[in-house]
Amino acid sequence: MTPRVSVVVPAYNNAEYLAETIDSILAQTFTDFELVIADHSSTDGTLAVAQKFDDPRIRLLTTPAGGGAQANWNRVTEEATGELIKLVCGDDTIAPTALDTQVRAFDDNPSAVLVAAQRTLIDAYGKTVIAARGLGGLHGTVSGRVAARTAVRSGANIFGEPGGVMMKLSELREIGLWDNSHPYLIDQATFIAVALRGDIVAIPQPLASFRINSGQWSVELATQQARQAADFHRSLQASDPTLLSDNDVHIGNAKALMTSFMRRAVYLLLRHRMSRSS
């Protein structure tokens, strides 16, 4: 019997947080799932942390070094056997009712190919930075085209990090798995590609926690993120001129630049707060 849901964890140097991630998955109220973990040649003992868990739902894999995030994200996805898939990064967590809530959303909305929930942003110590973020004002069942346009015009990943999203595995496979054409947008680009194949369900409730990396504060990084977002918006428009207007792209590009530097400001404040508490 194959499980209804595959939860997949592509881990890389997550030894400090991986046990918390795995515990949050095993504590789900919805139990018909498998957990596939792949260690991407970590050097900090990540694999040893995963090996401590003894649960028949867990499959532990290793991924050779190289290939960036896409290599390990595709590795765990290729091994998934469920109808639905949720990718959880190795330092994030999901709420106990996350799987139950999102599976029910699929059951109640047969046209849905993706279900996204809000997420809580936390710091390295697990303290809340922002309690509920994401979705760009979307609520309930929404056309994937509307969701994609909303994401572009917001200049941000309204779907959130992967832990807050569940997709139909068949649709993810149809688009060729994770889209790394714009590496900083690997999750958002993939979510939009899947969303365009049907409807999405937006749940305005935080069902995952995303751990902010306080090391991400450089101007160069912010500029690269904004540039890749603009390139992605233009490529999306070129692939389907009826999806986005020139004005949509212009607005999205301007907001992406603003968002990248606002994110940098948050990281700087977080670094300051963490240095004072350490």
Q: What is the DSSP string of the chain?
A: ---SEEEEEEESS-TTTHHHHHHHHHT-S---EEEEEEE-S-SSSHHHHHHT---TTEEEEE--S-SHHHHHHHHHHHH--SSEEEE--TT-EE-TTHHHHHHHHHHH-TTEEEEEEEEEEE-TTS-EEEEEE-STT--EEEEHHHHHHHHHHHTS-TT-SGGGEEEEHHHHHHTTSS--SSGGGHHHHHHHHHHTTSEEEEEEEEEEEEE--TT---HHHHHHHHHHHHHHHHHHHHH-TTT--HHHHHHHHHHHHHHHHHHHHHHHHHHHHHHHH-
C-alpha radius of gyration, the chain, whole number: 18
Q: What is the reported pLDDT for 273?
A: 60
The amino acid present at 157, given as its one-letter code, is N
**Digit-coded pLDDT (tens) for 17-55:** 999 999 999 999 999 999 999 999 999 999 999 999 999
Q: What is the reported pLDDT for 56?
A: 95
Residues of the chain with pLDDT under 50: none
Q: What is the reported pLDDT for 224?
A: 87
Q: What is the reported pLDDT for 43?
A: 96
The amino acid present at 170, given as its one-letter code, is S
Q: What is the reported pLDDT for 211?
A: 86
Report helix, strand or coil for 215.
Answer: coil
Q: What is the reported pLDDT for 80?
A: 98
Q: What is the reported pLDDT for 133?
A: 84
**Digit-coded pLDDT (tens) for 224-235:** 889 999 999 999
Q: What is the reported pLDDT for 269?
A: 66
